[in-house]
Structures are given as structure tokens and as C-alpha cells.
Amino acid sequence: MATGKIVTFGEVIMRLSPPGCNKMRQSHELEFFFGGTEMNVGASLAQLGLPVQHISNVSDDFVGESAIACMKGYGIDTAHINKVNHPLGLYFMETGSGMRASRITYNRLHGAFANITPDMVNWEEVLEGCTLLHWTGISPAISEGAYQTLKQGLQEALKKGITITADPAYRSNLWQYGRSGHEVLAELVGLSTVFIGGVNEINEILGTSFTKDEEGFMAAAKKIMADCPNITKVFDKIRTGITASHQKIFGQLWDGKQLYKTPEIEMTQIVDRIGTGDAYAAGLIYAMQTGMDDVDSLVFANAACAVKHTIHGDVNLATVAEITEVAQGNLDGRLKR
């Protein structure tokens, strides 16, 4: 078992959604969860038993206090969460069903995390004892300050030889503060050592047009490793959607030499689609930090992602035992007394 701590950096965001698959108009109340893509990864890892510290800003009010209490409840070290005089970012979601898609609308661009600046994070202190740093493409898309803060962290981590996992999803409706998302992401992937993503992400970042088949994936992976020589592995997952409630996923990996693929898992009656990519990343990081080999890590990550679809909220609360069960192919959900 790795004993070093894992550091995650990113927005803590509040999700608000009407119960069930009601439209907002049909409700007088909203369920809420605290999440955020990197915090979801951290929470899942803390749940699985690893030491995790999350770096972020929250609002200096009872909403921010609740967010901190929530993170503490997951077991996350919150000592480096700043309280600032800006509201916590949030989003509303109407959960779809069947052929009706879920809809999300954000309120985050002037929030607590958007106002983070490099002087608010003492990276040297934070990365003390850290063995892995995780980031995603959401953070640098929020604001110049978030971008600069993240970049300093990556540079410091790279210098210290820390593993850096990058999940550089490109979200076009962010990136409103003036920089090109493609360029920034390419720069930051250049400062990372493990790439979590596939053809879509690589095409976005590099402006390439690889095809989405096996050949395309291998070519794209080779290209990103060529352009960003710190990257040593590319972990991807492929989702096929039948309806909002019925989907299939499998994982694939290019380790510089070979392609590996997991069996495909079919998920019917999906409970919650949010945070499933984060569950994949967390599964991967857990597996790598606890010494599994690449193929086992890929299978564990895919299983973690699949199980998350059965769990309400942003964070994967599945236990190691529950994920392992699925990783071993036991999908029949037999009652445990």
C-alpha cells in the first residue's frame, strides 16, 4: 500500500436537483450534493482508505462550512481549503430519464474557486509527502487565477517527481476568461505523467482528427506521448449510450507498447450519471497507488466507473469490496446478509 498522500485541486461545486426525474417546475425542493470533478476523485479515494488532501476555495459562510463538513465526512484533509468572500459555485440539474436527456445550468464563473490565485496555495507545503497529484481540464477553464495556480502546482510536482494524473476534458462553454483552452491544456498535459482520456480529448487538445476506432486510439496515444514526453501511459474509457438509463462502458490502455481492453459492462437502470468519469479516475489512481499492475488497474477503474452508475450523488461511495466484486465479473447483485 502506498503511504504517500494524494492531492487533488479543483472547484468544490454544489449540485441542486429536483427529486427523481422531476422537472424543476414540478418541485418545491431540491436535493443537494457537494462535488466537483477533482473533489469527487479525492472523496472516492478517501472513501477507499487512502490519505487525500483537497486544495480549493470555498465561500466564507454557512454554505462553505457545509461543504467543508461534507469533505471532512468523506475523510478528506481540508486544512488547505481557503474561505473567501465569494459565493460557492453551483449548478442546477434536471435529471433525465429514458430518451429525455438531463440538463445542467451553471453558476460558477464569479464564485469562490474562480477567485483563487497562486498566492493562496503554498504548493511546497502542500506537496510535502505527496505521491500523486490529480487535475482535470475543468480547473484551468474557470479563470486565469485557477490556471496559474494549477500550473505552479504542476511545475512544483514535476520537479519533485510526483506522479501527475491529467484528465484534460475540454468543455467549450467554459474558457470565457480569454485564453485558448486547446493551448492551455496542451501546456498542462506537458507537465503531467499519466493521461486519462482518449481520441476525443487528444483531438481537441492537439487539433488532430484521429478516428475513434482501435487504430485511431493507438495513433492518438502515440501522438500525445510524442508531443508531451512526460506522459507514459494513456488510459481511456469508451461509453455507448442506448438511453439516458441504459449504457455500456469498457476501458482501454496504451502503455507505449501495447493496447489492453477490458470486457464491456452493461448498465441498465442507471441511478446517477454524474461523477462516473471521476469514479474511473479514482479507481485508476487507487489501483496504481496500491500496487496493481496496469491491466488490473484498468479493470478496477472500469469496474469503479460502472458501480458509480448505481450510486446517487457526485461521489462514488462504493467500497473496495463492491468494486472488486464487479471487477471479478460478478454482476448479478445478489443480496449480502
Q: Work out how close the CB of 330 gets to its own copies at its nearest, in angstroms, rounded to a whole number.
A: 8
* 103 vs 159, beta carbon nearer its own copies: 103
Q: Work out how close the CB of 153 gets to its own copies at its nearest, in angstroms, rounded to a whole number.
A: 26
User: Which of residues 2, 259, 292, 317 is near its own copies by CB under 8 A?
Assistant: 317
Judged by CB under 8 A, does residue 218 bind its own copies? no
Judged by CB under 8 A, does residue 65 bind its own copies? yes
User: Which of residues 156, 204, 236, 325 is near its own copies by CB under 8 A?
Assistant: 325
In this structure, are residues 120 and 57 in contact, taking their beta carbons and an 8 Å threshold?
yes
At 154, list the grid cell. 504542476
Judged by CB under 8 A, does residue 334 bind its own copies? yes
Residues in 16-35 that interact with its own copies by CB under 8 A: 16, 19-33
Q: How far apart are CA 44 and CA 66, in angstroms?
A: 18
Q: How far apart are the first and last CA of the chain?
A: 29
Q: Work out how close the CB of 333 gets to its own copies at its nearest, in angstroms, rounded to a whole number.
A: 3
Q: Which residues contact 250 (CB under 8 A, 6 or more apart)?
A: 237, 238, 261, 262, 263, 264, 265, 302
* 126 vs 318, beta carbon nearer its own copies: 318
- Among 48-56, 159-167, 209-217, 320-328, which window interacts with its own copies (CB under 8 A)? 320-328
User: Which of residues 12, 225, 249, 326 is near its own copies by CB under 8 A?
Assistant: 326
The DSSP output letter for 308 is H
Judged by CB under 8 A, does residue 273 bind its own copies? yes
At 89, list the grid cell. 459555485
Judged by CB under 8 A, does residue 256 bind its own copies? no
Exposed e or buried b for every residue in 244-276, given b needs 16+ CB within 10 A? bbebebbbbbbbeeeeebbeebebeebebbbbb
Residues that bind its own copies (rule: CB under 8 A) add up to a total of 82
Q: Which helix (H) or strand (E) holds 184?
A: helix 181-189
At 19, list the grid cell. 427529486
User: Which of residues 115, 117, 148, 243 is near its own copies by CB under 8 A?
Assistant: 243
Neighbouring C-beta atoms of residue 82, cutoff 10 Å: 17
Task: Return the closest-CA partner of residue 12 out of 67, 66, 62.
Answer: 67
Region of residue 98 (phi > 0: left; psi between -120 and 50: alpha; otherwise: beta)? left
Provide the strand spans (E) within 90-209: 90-94, 103-107, 130-136, 163-167, 194-196
* 30 vs 219, beta carbon nearer its own copies: 30
Q: Work out how close the CB of 130 gets to its own copies at its nearest, in angstroms, rounded to a whole number.
A: 21
User: Which of residues 223, 246, 248, 261 is near its own copies by CB under 8 A?
Assistant: 246
User: Which of residues 83, 103, 159, 212 is near its own copies by CB under 8 A?
Assistant: 103
Q: Work out how close the CB of 236 gets to its own copies at its nearest, in angstroms, rounded to a whole number.
A: 18
- Among 90-98, 179-187, 221-229, 289-297, which window interacts with its own copies (CB under 8 A)? 90-98
User: Which of residues 265, 284, 288, 298 is near its own copies by CB under 8 A?
Assistant: 265
Q: Work out how close the CB of 13 gets to its own copies at its nearest, in angstroms, rounded to a whole number.
A: 13
